[in-house]
Amino acid sequence: MTEPVAAVEIEGVTKRFDDVVAVDNVDLAIDDGEFFALLGPSGCGKTTTLRMIAGLDLPTQGSLRIFGEEVGMAPPDRRPVNTVFQAYALFPHMTVRQNIEFGLRMRRVKDPELSQRVAEAIGMVRLAGMEERRPDQLSGGQQQRVALARALVNQPKVLLLDEPLGALDLKLRQEMQQELKALQREVGITFVFVTHDQEEALAMSERIGVMSEGRLLQVGSPREIYERPSSRFVADFIGRTNLIEATVESSGTVRLANGVVIEAETSAPAGSDVAVSLRPERIRVQSRGAGVSAGASLDGEVGDVTYLGHAVVYAVTAGPTLVEVRNEGEVGEPFAVGDEVTVSWDHGAAAVIAE
């Protein structure tokens, strides 16, 4: 059996701008039809990676294939991709319809194909009835949809989206996230979605690639990235976590910095220095001496209490370790600053990080 060909395949790709290494030896394969997010803090190389896929930047080194065809040095218009940028770059003096059909007119596509493709794109992004408006007569979300339609009308095989929702306020942003996800399922083409917002990446994508300082650190499903981060950077960047320094005792146990030995799976050799990542919502807090039913525990003292409505967050000092505990859906505040407590978790909640 032959492997299905990847929509985008990046192999050993590096991009240098003078002395800045913007993208550092990245290998990545994105599947046909996948919703893939490139996630990382500002300046980590996301846009540069996307621009190399689009042909707007050329790699300094490495190879880049789109559906099996080498395109590393091909100009943008020779690639079956389109890009949607955060600044939608709509033509302000043109109507919605004119904005959307612009690319097709440039390529001399004529009626009836022209009208049919424009009508299809308008239908996809639910802008029917707004064809004659100008961009300044549209909301931010509607402008975003015009930008999407303008890309989709070209029938790309891969759609590249560079922080397309960055300019929208939170509520609209969340609505557009759901819309984009539904749209991607409907059209079935590969989406490569760049964002620095980890919640957005978790909520939208089938797989996420986490970047830092030009390097691709980890690729996996949202669940894998969140529950089994492979590095301290990923553990800390995706959601909140407690990173506790530890040393491996055996393949099933590690010794925390405060001397407590806990169960945790790891393939790192005995004696290696590692970190244990414990998500705050996987930790319980109880009065000292209430009896811990299973798993591992630490005794400590409540140092801070933060009420968030849907959750209460406790900062618990346990020896040299400060543990953040998040109790979701808890009614009231049973613990106060200074209370002596025990924090505990199930063995499976502790993820060992070797780098």
Residues binding ligand ADP (CB under 6 A): 17, 20, 22, 40, 42-48
Q: Does 83 bind Mg ion (CB under 5 A)?
A: no
The per-residue DSSP string of 210-243 comes to EEETTEEEEEE-HHHHHHS-SSHHHHHHSS--EE
Name the residue nearer to ligand ADP (CB basis): 118 or 216.
216
C-alpha span between 216 and 134 (Å, rounded) = 40
> What sign does the dihedral 84-87-88-93 (CA atoms) show?
negative
Name the residue nearer to Mg ion (CB basis): 89 or 270.
89
Min dist CB 310 to ligand ADP, Å, is 31
Name the residue nearer to ligand ADP (CB basis): 46 or 97.
46
Residue 323 contacts by C-beta under 8 Å, 6 or more apart in sequence?
242, 244, 278, 280, 283, 298, 300, 315, 316, 317, 343
Name the residue nearer to ligand ADP (CB basis): 48 or 241.
48
3-state secondary structure of 180: helix
Q: Does 212 bind Mg ion (CB under 5 A)?
A: no
Are 320 and 257 contacting, i.e. CB atoms less than 8 angstroms apart? yes
Rounded to 5°, the CA angle 15-16-21 comes to 95
Residue 22 touches which member of Mg ion, ligand ADP, none, C-beta under 5-8 Å by kind: ligand ADP
Q: Does 241 bind Mg ion (CB under 5 A)?
A: no
Residue nearest to Mg ion (CB): 47
- The residue from 13, 35, 39, 47 that contacts Mg ion (CB under 5 A) is 47
Residue 62 touches which member of Mg ion, ligand ADP, none, C-beta under 5-8 Å by kind: none
Any idea which residue has 């010794």 for tokens?
255
Min dist CB 98 to ligand ADP, Å, is 30
Residue 58 touches which member of ligand ADP, Mg ion, none, C-beta under 5-8 Å by kind: none
Joined tokens for residue 278: 């414990």
Q: Does 266 bind Mg ion (CB under 5 A)?
A: no
Min dist CB 191 to Mg ion, Å, is 16
Min dist CB 20 to ligand ADP, Å, is 5
* Whether residue 112 has a cis bond before it, omega within 30° of 0: yes
What are residue 218's DSSP bridge partners?
210
Name the residue nearer to Mg ion (CB basis): 47 or 242.
47
3-state secondary structure of 117: helix
Name the residue nearer to Mg ion (CB basis): 87 or 308.
87
Min dist CB 228 to ligand ADP, Å, is 24
